[in-house]
Amino acid sequence: MTNDPAPATGGDDPRWRLSPTKIVVGLILLAGIVVPLLVGTYARVEPRLFGFPFFYWYQLLWVFIAAGLCALAFVLLKRERDAFTRRRAGAASDSDRFEGGSR
């Protein structure tokens, strides 16, 4: 978050900060975007699978890989979020402030 007209409330929410989990999730998702777009790595006919040229079956395979990456990202973020909710429940009585967004 930057300095421009400071947001009304809660300008130091720990969830806003980058955490190791978020960096890992970001990299996992980035791989799911960049690798399927490296067309040069799969623009060929051989090896075939069930008669499908490599170019076609490899991309269909990536449908499953990308879904798996999203599922993994979902689980990782859920763990972080659950941990945050637990800690806040524990500290709810005194303050909403926490040190660091990482676990």
Partner 1 sequence: MSIDWVALTVLIVLFALVTVMGFQAARWRRADDMASLHEWGLGGKSFGTWTTWFLLGGDLYTAYTFIAVPAAMWATGAVSGFFSVPYTIVLYPVIFYFLGRMWSVAHRHGYVTTADIVQGRYGTRSLSLAVAVTGILATMPYIALQLVGIQAVLEVVGLGGSSALARDLPLLIAFAVLAAYTYSSGLRAPAMIAFVKDILIYIVIIVAVVYLPTKLGGWHSIFDAAQTKMAAPSAANPKVPTGVFIPAAAQQWAYASLALGSALALFMYPHSVTAALSSRTRSTGRRNAAILPAYSLLLGLLALLGYVAIKAGTKPIGLDGKINPQLVIPQLFEDQFPSWFAGVAFGAIAIGALVPAAIMSIAAANLFTRNIYKAYFKPQATDAQEAKVSKIVSLLTKVGALIFVLTLDKQNALNFQLLGGLWILQTLPAIVFGLFTRWFHRWALLAGWAAGMIYGTVVAYGGCTACSTRPFANSLALVPGFGDAGYIGITALTLNVLVAVVLSAVLRAAKVSNGTDITSQSDYFADLGDPEVEPVLSDARPTH
Give the footprint of partner 1 on this chain (CB under 8 A): 1-2, 4-5, 7-13, 15-16, 26, 29-30, 32-33, 36-40, 43-45, 48, 50-53, 55-56, 59-60, 62-64, 66-71, 73-74, 77-78, 92
Q: Smallest distance, Å, CB 46 to partner 1? A: 11
Query: Which tokens belong to 68?
Result: 């798996």
Q: Which is nearer to partner 1, 10 or 90 (CB)?
A: 10
Cα–Cα distance measured from residue 100 to residue 12, given in angstroms and rounded to the nearest whole number: 10
Query: Which tokens belong to 70?
Result: 């999203």
CA 42 to chain centre: 25
Q: Do 88 and 32 contact (CB within 8 A), yes or no?
A: no
Q: Smallest distance, Å, CB 18 to partner 1? A: 11
